[in-house]
Amino acid sequence: MQTNMRAAESKLKELLEAHQPTVGMYVRVHGDHLILGRQQPIGPNGQLENDDRVRLTQLSASSYGLSVKRHTGRWERTPFAGTLDEMVDIILGCMQHLVAPY
């Protein structure tokens, strides 16, 4: 399944780069999850730290469930599931505030 996740990672990166609100987001694979986030400067030297925002969990060969990272650091599942294209549409439509740079 890891090969499938690498292909999904590549496709998701392309989808994110095609839309202004998600340009510059990173995608990393962690088991059956694709984690999306932004790098944020921290400290006086401006070192960059990963800031995970949303997570797509593989449910089947072409279906993913969407979770959001809470302020507590825990992941909260949402009722959304579908293809990578559908998940990007959901993120752009309902969750721009979570993925926008700050």
Q: What digits encode the pLDDT tens for the residues 35-85? A: 999 998 887 888 888 999 999 999 999 999 999 999 899 999 999 999 999
Could you tell me if 54 and 91 are in contact, meaning their C-beta atoms sit under 8 angstroms apart? Answer: yes
Q: Is 49 helix (H, G, I), strand (E, B) or coil?
A: strand
Residue type, 71: H
Label residue 2 by pLDDT band (50, 70, 90). Answer: low
What is the percent of the chain with per-residue pLDDT over 90, rounded to a whole number?
76
Q: Which residues of 27-55 are buried (b: 16+ CB within 10 A; e: fewer)?
A: beeeeebbbbbbeeeeeeeeeeeeebbbb
Domain limits, the chain: 2-40+47-99
Q: pTM to 2 decimals?
A: 0.90
DSSP designation for 96: H
pLDDT of residue 41: 84
Task: Mention every residue, 6+ apart, whose C-beta is less than 8 A from residue 17.
Answer: 23
